[in-house]
């Protein structure tokens, strides 16, 4: 399209006409673009299309899209609800407090921690009992020592309690001596004291047995849970202490001399 000459007396008119033609061409190009878009996107013959049909098809596609979104949302909700029902962890750690009754009716509170199939003693509350306690190396068993009556109690991993006190001592000549009678006669007499585990089956404690006279020596006695046997190890002294378990055995100090005892009763320096 030739440009109008500025020297022509029709210049203004030609310019207006030229602009009008440009607008018409642009409009036609836009219409063509709309036509092609509708034909390709909707897959219909433009000659048969009306604005109502286009609107109906667009509305149908929008409805289908919304229905699809709703189904997806329901599926996600079901999955979320299903996942919210978490199965309990059988190996989860949990604590359980057990009241253990002594022979005199007093109760000690033992707290166990269970993780999977493993059950261990976590804490002990003597609950007013005048005594002391010692936990085995595996933390599954417990000794409770009651000072007034000089009694020893063994508690297992299930809270079952048994009195393991050496009640009667029989001398080599066959004479029998009752614990209760001896400590009633002499309140300062040490029948048993400071019991501690060497291992889960073996316990050592301090006693003045086998003598009932004025001797001040104290002996290390040893007992086993499995056969309930008692034996004097003949480790003795005026000042006797039972300390902690080490790799060499349980540490025992007699009059300043340190020795280590194994579960079988053998000792090393």
78-127 pLDDT, tens per residue?
555 555 565 666 667 889 999 999 988 899 999 999 988 889 999 999 99
Give a yes or no: residue 160 inside a domain. Answer: no
Q: Are residues 264 and 191 in the same domain?
A: yes
Per-residue pLDDT, 48? 47
Per-residue pLDDT, 161? 95
Per-residue pLDDT, 242? 97
Give a yes or no: residue 5 inside a domain. Answer: no
- The count of domains in the chain is 3
CA dihedral 56, 61, 66, 69 (to 10 degrees): 180
Q: What is the DSSP string of 186-240?
A: -TT--SSEEEEESSSSEEEEEE-TT--SS---EEEEEEETTT--EEEEEEEESSE
- The reply to whether omega before 86 is within 30° of 0 (cis) is no
Give a yes or no: residue 159 inside a domain. Answer: no
Q: How many CB atoms lie within 10 A of CB 202?
A: 20
Q: Are residues 140 and 170 in the same domain?
A: no
Give a yes or no: residue 130 inside a domain. Answer: yes
Q: Are residues 222 and 136 in the same domain?
A: no
| The most confident of 5-19, 21-35, 63-77, by mean pLDDT | 21-35
Per-residue pLDDT, 72? 62
Backbone angles phi, psi at 32, to 5 degrees: -60, -40
Flag whether pLDDT at 252 surpasses 90. Answer: yes
Give a yes or no: residue 80 inside a domain. Answer: no
Flag whether pLDDT at 56 surpasses 70. Answer: no
Q: Are residues 136 and 173 in the same domain?
A: no
Give a yes or no: residue 20 inside a domain. Answer: yes
Sequence-distant (6+) residues with CB within 8 A of 261 are: 198, 204, 220, 222, 233, 235, 249, 250, 252, 267
Flag whether pLDDT at 45 surpasses 80. Answer: no
- How far apart CA 230 and CA 207 sit, in angstroms, is 12
Q: Are residues 170 and 252 in the same domain?
A: yes
Flag whether pLDDT at 2 surpasses 90. Answer: no
The angle at the Cα of 264, spanning 258 to 266, to the nearest 5 degrees, equals 35
- How far apart CA 140 and CA 144 sit, in angstroms, is 13
- How far apart CA 133 and CA 196 sit, in angstroms, is 8
Mean pLDDT value across the chain: 83
- In terms of pLDDT, which residue wins out, 149 or 27? 149
Flag whether pLDDT at 244 surpasses 80. Answer: yes
- How far apart CA 116 and CA 269 sit, in angstroms, is 40
- In terms of pLDDT, which residue wins out, 29 or 46? 29
Residue 204 domain boundaries: 166-269
Give a yes or no: residue 84 inside a domain. Answer: no
Task: Report which DSSP code applies to 78.
Answer: H
- In terms of pLDDT, which residue wins out, 43 or 87? 87
- How far apart CA 264 and CA 178 sit, in angstroms, is 27
Q: Are residues 120 and 182 in the same domain?
A: no
Per-residue pLDDT, 116? 86
pLDDT digits (tens, 9 = 90+) for 170-213: 999 999 999 999 999 999 999 999 999 999 999 999 999 999 99
Flag whether pLDDT at 76 surpasses 80. Answer: no
Q: Are residues 58 and 103 in the same domain?
A: no
Q: Are residues 201 and 172 in the same domain?
A: yes
Q: Are residues 256 and 186 in the same domain?
A: yes
Flag whether pLDDT at 70 surpasses 90. Answer: no
Q: Are residues 172 and 256 in the same domain?
A: yes
Which of 182, 125, 110 lies closest to 150 in space, CA to CA? 182
Give a yes or no: residue 78 inside a domain. Answer: no
Which of 165, 167, 133 lies closest to 151 in space, CA to CA? 165
CB burial string 94-129: b at 16+ within 10 A, e below = eeeebebebeeeeebebebebeeeebbbbebebeeb
Q: Are residues 192 and 225 in the same domain?
A: yes
Q: Specify whether the CB–CB gap between 189 and 182 falls below 8 A.
A: yes
Tokens linked to 145: 């020592």
In angstroms, how far is CA 164 from the centroid of its own chain?
A: 33
Q: If you search the block for the tokens 């899209």, which residue do you land on? A: 65
Q: Is the whole model's pTM more than 0.85, yes or no?
A: no
> What distance, in Å, lies between the first and last C-alpha atoms of the chain?
120
Q: Are residues 219 and 127 in the same domain?
A: no
């Amino acid at each position: 399209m030739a440009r109008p000459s500025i020297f022509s007396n029709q210049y203004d008119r030609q310019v207006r006409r030229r602009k009008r033609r440009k607008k018409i061409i642009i409009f036609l190009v836009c219409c063509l673009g709309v036509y092609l878009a509708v034909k390709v996107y909707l897959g219909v013959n433009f000659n048969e299309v009306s604005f109502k049909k286009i609107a109906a098809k667009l509305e149908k596609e929008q409805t289908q899209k919304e229905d699809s979104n709703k189904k997806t949302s329901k599926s996600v909700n079901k999955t979320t609800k299903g996942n919210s029902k978490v199965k309990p962890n059988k190996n989860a750690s949990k604590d359980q407090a057990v009241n253990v009754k002594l022979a005199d009716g007093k109760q000690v509170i033992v707290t166990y921690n269970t993780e999977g199939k493993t059950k261990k003693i976590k804490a002990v509350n003597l609950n007013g009992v005048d005594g002391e306690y010692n936990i085995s190396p595996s933390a599954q068993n417990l000794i409770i020592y009651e000072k007034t009556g000089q009694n020893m109690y063994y508690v297992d991993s299930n809270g079952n309690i048994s009195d393991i006190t050496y009640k009667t001592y029989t001398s080599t000549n066959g004479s029998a001596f009752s614990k209760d009678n001896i400590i009633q006669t002499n309140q300062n007499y040490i029948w048993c004291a400071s019991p501690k585990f060497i291992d889960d089956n073996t316990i050592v404690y301090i006693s003045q047995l086998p003598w009932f006279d004025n001797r001040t020596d104290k002996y290390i006695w040893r007992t086993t849970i499995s056969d309930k046997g008692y034996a004097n190890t003949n480790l003795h002294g005026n000042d006797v202490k039972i300390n902690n378990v080490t790799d060499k055995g349980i540490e025992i100090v007699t009059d300043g001399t340190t020795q280590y005892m194994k579960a079988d009763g053998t000792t090393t320096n």
